[in-house]
Amino acid sequence: MPNSPLTPGIVPARLSRDAIARNFSDHEPPFDQHEARVAADRCYFCHDAPCMTACPTEIDIPLFIRQIATGTPEAAAKTIWSQNILGGICARVCPTETLCEEVCVRETAEGKPVEIGRLQRYATDIAMEKGHPFTRAPATGKRVAVVGAGPAGLACAHRLAMKGHEVTVYERRAKAGGLNEYGIASYKATGGFAAREVEWLLSIGGISLQLGAALGRDITLDQLRADYDAVFLGIGLQGVNALRAEGEDKQGVANAVDFIAELRQSPDLMGLAVGRDVVVVGGGMTAVDAAVQAKLLGAENVTIVYRRGQEKMSASTHEQEHAVQAGVRIIHNAAPLRVLGNGRIEGVEFAYTQDGPDGLVLLPETFQLKADQLFKAIGQTLTGAPEAAEQKGGKISGLPAKVWAGGDCAAGGEDLTVTAVAEGRDAAEAIHGQLAAQ
Amino acid sequence: MADLTSNFIGIKSPNPFWLASAPPTDKKYNVERAYEAGWGGVVWKTLGAEGPPIVNVSGPRYGAIFGADRRLLGLNNIELITDRPLEINLREIKEVKRKWRDRALVISLMVPCEEEHWKAILSQIEDTEADGVELNFGCPHGMAERGMGSAVGQVPEYIEMVTRWVKQYSRMPCIVKLTPNITSILPPAMAAHRGGADAVSLINTIKSITNVDLDNFSPFPMIDGQGSHGGYCGPAVKPIALNMVGEIARFPETRGMPISGIGGVTTWRDAAEFLAMGAGNVQVCTAAMTYGFKVVQEMISGLSAYLDEKEMTLDQLVGRAVPNFVEWQNLNLNYVTKAHINQDDCIKCGRCYAACEDTSHQAIAMGPGRVFTVKDEECVACNLCVNVCPVEDCITMVPMAKGTLDPRTGRNVGDYADWTTHPNNPMSSAAAE
């Protein structure tokens, strides 16, 4: 008998091949030309537009939307990319409901913002097909090392290459893209989009990619500083917080980020095993992405348990609604006490919590959830940062001369793809400024 | 429900909404559908002289201007008068009129500017029992090249001459349809009046090119790589039509002559505006071509509700705004208003600020938190901010009370005074004394 959502344990192929394909197709299909024109027509072309201010990369949103409205999506894409070279993936994964679209005056006026994210995708999708729109400045003879081929590193590398510098990007994993490639829900970037975007970005030239090169193992900061005119660190947050609950080492307990990465890299989702009763502990986008995808793979029961109230969840309301719509149950104000089971997880015991002026208090009332799989999604941590980097609050806060940092590993800004792009780009401008002054 | 029954120059219809002479009234099938939908009357698409019918192009006949979401704002056409044989049209007109006695049916005519042609066509239509004729002196494309349509409407003497023939050879009520493709609408209107017309209808379409094909470098509608000017109509022409209707309604020599208002009537509100500007009824085309005949139902319910609310009859609405349509020189220069932005309604788009700061009088301040406020000492009350604001009534023009200090001029708001008595006017009557 084939597996179904009711099959106990962690097993593959709980749903039919068709159902899996349907579940993991583009969850927000692209606009066609007519839809894009109608959506673009709604933009008021605001003065000093609030959307632009809310965008960490400060894309000139009213301008690119007007360019779409007037039938020039390629010009629109160039407006986007001149600020955010990863505008394609950002159009798909940005929590626009808490950024540009949240402050759209149409949201104020009628509760329905201009669909900026989808318009951005429309323009960048069309223009990406036409090749790479930027060219490099004359060669400067300067060489820069970029550590980490995630959004920050790629944005930095591209801007430096544009300015005429030679860039080498070191990446510890087998593929470039960072969280775009390994860390976001599959249905947000279908069709290998992250990899295509990297290839398109690199086609500007002047960037060489060294895959499988980890900082501290294959390369050191000291050596890079000696070999290059400048170094940019975009190493992200590679560690995962522990549950700090009894029995965390039982079989069936895994990191949500690893599950998401495995799913993203899986050549055939029919081969990917998932539990019948899945519990995800955490309250951010990673928790939502893991939970929704577990459900889409055919888990019968998927529950997100978050230790604080709904309003404290870092996943946006939009993301939470998306999870609930997918059939995920969200329990607030409960913290894990112990993982139950004999060697293999069978359930999780939680205590209810109360968030008060003295912090989070565990209440005596407890409950148990049946579980054959548990994903930890309670935040990532900075690991593998070079000794020379000063740290504050778990982020890189100070660096020696010739070294810059950006993205999730660096202090300042939210841990978002778009913020990483902005920081990478700005670091490149700073590096260029310094190299040009030499 | 207010009574919308209309009596226009003796032609009765259940409401003042007629379909204008145009493609929607070309044949029995369409006209009956229009009556079924509720239209009060139709002006049958223009008939030409007996003989081989005219020929239309078989490429695009229309071009258009769009607003947001492809809302059709202006339509341009190069279609000529009816291309069906005269006898078929006459037969159908008779059939329709017999079946729809309560509806108005007027026949539009256009034949060469020679007396025998007009005499002949008038005798041919006599037997249709139609309610009246409308002389098409308006079409600006195609037929004008052949000395008809607007080619006649642009020469007041011709208008007067043909109108006389029509009144001489027919007892039918006669409406003269005017072209807006002239410098002033008054000479053609006066000519129609002198010729004995029972009414004028206006406007016919405006000579236009809606757009240029940027791949083939041809005006549009493009016929095999070339384009000709067309006649422009639809919501975009309403302001031009309203002015011309109003000019005729207030001008001493033409005052009181019945007017059938045409030009961009799309809603009951547009119709009410034409009536207030002096039209006795309205004719519609583009709105029906855009949305279908059912639109008349909104016009009927809307106008009726408006009249009820105002406790007014249809006749009382007609011409109600005409006395207030004055020359610029008679406007009160001591009437002072200031823009006021309602902060509760403001969505903080900043369009008022951009418009005022970049293109007007720098009279709007942008404060922290995108709070936009009017600087009374700079505001000349131009109304541009009101017009660019996406939220209706968020910005309003608030009149200053008489005697209060206008911070822009440093003078107190005074009594009525217009340009004719203004000291800066070298021709001012006060200065002349």
Per-residue pLDDT tens digits for B110-152: 999 999 999 999 999 999 999 999 999 999 998 999 999 999 9
Report the Cα–Cα distance between both ends of chain B, in Å, rounded: 56
Q: Write out chain A's pLDDT in tens, 438 residues.
A: 799 999 999 999 999 999 999 999 988 889 999 999 999 999 999 999 999 999 999 999 999 999 999 999 999 999 999 999 999 999 999 999 999 999 999 999 999 999 999 999 999 999 999 999 999 999 999 999 999 999 999 999 999 999 999 999 999 999 999 999 999 999 999 999 999 999 999 999 999 999 999 999 999 999 999 999 999 999 999 999 999 899 999 999 999 999 999 999 999 999 999 999 999 999 999 999 999 999 999 999 999 999 999 999 999 999 999 999 999 999 999 999 999 999 999 999 999 999 988 889 999 999 999 999 999 999 999 999 999 999 999 999 999 999 999 999 999 889 999 999 999 999 999 999 999 998
pLDDT at B430 over 70: no
CB A198 within 8 A of CB A154: yes
Does the beta carbon of A196 lie under 8 angstroms from any beta carbon of chain B? no
DSSP B235: G
pLDDT at B432 over 50: no
| Catalytic residue (one of B139, B174, B346, B379) | B139
Residue B348: closest CA among chain A residues belongs to which residue? A105
Residue A147, token pair as written in the block: 């550590």
The answer to whether the CB atoms of B350 and A37 lie below 8 A apart is no
Q: Which helix (H) or strand (E) holds B47?
A: strand B41-47
Alpha-helix residue ranges (DSSP H) falling in B170-237: 186-195
Q: Is the peptide bond before B175 cis (omega within 30 degrees of 0)?
A: no
Strand segments (E) across A17-154: 143-147
Q: 3-class SS at B81?
A: coil
| pLDDT value of residue A1 | 76
CB B222 within 8 A of CB B216: yes
CA distance B200 to chain A (A): 40
pLDDT at B431 over 80: no
Within its chain, how far is the Cα of A373 from the centroid? 23
State how far the Cα of B155 lies from the Cα of B148, in Å rounded to an integer. 11
Q: B62-79: b or e for each residue (b if 16 or more CB lie within 10 Å)? A: bbbbeeeeeebbbbbbbb
CA distance B297 to chain A (A): 28
> Same CATH topology for A33-128 and A143-238+382-437?
no
Residue B199, token pair as written in the block: 């009414």
Quickly tell me which residue has 């002054």 as its tokens. Answer: A437
The secondary structure of B100-123 as a DSSP string is -TTSEEEEEE---SSHHHHHHHHH
Q: Which of A48, A49, A109 sits opposite B391 (nearest CB)?
A: A109
The answer to whether the CB atoms of A47 and B347 lie below 8 A apart is no
Residue B394: closest CA among chain A residues belongs to which residue? A109
Which chain B residues touch A47 with a CB distance below 8 Å? 349-351, 353-354, 366
DSSP B68: G
pLDDT, one tens digit per residue, over B190-248 is 999 999 999 999 999 999 999 999 999 999 999 999 999 999 999 999 999 999 999 99
Return the percentage of chain B with pLDDT > 70, whole number: 99
The secondary structure of A269-321 as a DSSP string is GGG--B-SEEEEEESSHHHHHHHHHHHHHT-SEEEEE-SS-GGG-SS-HHHHH
CA distance B389 to chain A (A): 9
Q: Which of A37, A42, A109 sits opposite B347 (nearest CB)?
A: A109
Q: What is the mean pLDDT of residues B248-271?
A: 98
Which chain A residues touch B391 with a CB distance below 8 Å? 109
CB count in 10 Å sphere of residue A300:
16
Distances A356 to A337, A353, B62, B168, B407 between C-alpha atoms, Å: 19, 9, 70, 97, 55
The answer to whether the CB atoms of B348 and A48 lie below 8 A apart is no
Nearest Cα neighbor of B2 from B415, B347, B301 is: B301
The dihedrals phi and psi of B360, each to the nearest 5 degrees, come to -130, -120
The answer to whether the CB atoms of B347 and A108 lie below 8 A apart is yes
**pTM of the predicted structure, to 2 decimals:** 0.89
The answer to whether the CB atoms of B350 and A47 lie below 8 A apart is yes
The answer to whether the CB atoms of A50 and B70 lie below 8 A apart is no
Does the beta carbon of B354 lie under 8 angstroms from any beta carbon of chain A? yes
The class (CATH top level) of A240-377 is: alpha beta
Strand partners, A347: A340, A370
Residue B355: closest CA among chain A residues belongs to which residue? A47
CB B127 within 8 A of CB B113: no
Q: Which of B69, B349, B360 to mutate to test the interface with A (most CBs of A within 10 A)?
A: B349
The answer to whether the CB atoms of B354 and A42 lie below 8 A apart is no
The answer to whether the CB atoms of A50 and B68 lie below 8 A apart is no
Domains and CATH numbers, chain B: 6-324 (3.20.20.70), 328-432 (3.30.70.20)
State how far the Cα of A26 lies from the Cα of A13, in Å rounded to an integer. 20
State how far the Cα of A94 lies from the Cα of A100, in Å rounded to an integer. 9
Which chain A residues touch B349 with a CB distance below 8 Å? 44, 46-47, 105
CA distance A427 to chain B (A): 29
The answer to whether the CB atoms of B347 and A105 lie below 8 A apart is yes
Strand partners, B230: B208
CA distance B430 to chain A (A): 46
A residues 258-317 near B, CB within 8 Å? none
Q: Is the peptide bond before B426 cis (omega within 30 degrees of 0)?
A: no
How is domain A33-128 classified at the CATH fold level?
Fumarate Reductase Iron-sulfur Protein; Chain B, domain 2 (1.10.1060)
pLDDT, one tens digit per residue, over B93-111 is 999 999 999 999 999 999 9
pLDDT band at B358 (very low <50, low <70, confident <90, very high): very high
Does the beta carbon of A53 lie under 8 angstroms from any beta carbon of chain B? no
Which chain A residues touch B347 with a CB distance below 8 Å? 105-106, 108-109
| pLDDT value of residue A356 | 86
The answer to whether the CB atoms of B390 and A45 lie below 8 A apart is no
State how far the Cα of A236 lies from the Cα of A384, in Å rounded to an integer. 10
Residue B67: closest CA among chain A residues belongs to which residue? A41
In total, chain B counts a number of residues equal to 433
Is B139 marked active-site?
Answer: yes
Does the beta carbon of A395 lie under 8 angstroms from any beta carbon of chain B? no
pLDDT at B336 over 70: yes
Which chain B residues touch A42 with a CB distance below 8 Å? 68
| pLDDT value of residue A438 | 86
pLDDT, one tens digit per residue, over B402-419 is 999 999 999 999 999 999
A residues 78-117 near B, CB within 8 Å? 105-106, 108-109
Domain boundaries, given as residue ranges, for chain A: 33-128, 143-238+382-437, 240-377
The answer to whether the CB atoms of A44 and B351 lie below 8 A apart is yes
Does the beta carbon of A244 lie under 8 angstroms from any beta carbon of chain B? no
CATH number of A143-238+382-437: 3.50.50.60
Does the beta carbon of A63 lie under 8 angstroms from any beta carbon of chain B? no
Alpha-helix residue ranges (DSSP H) falling in B150-237: 150-153, 156-169, 186-195
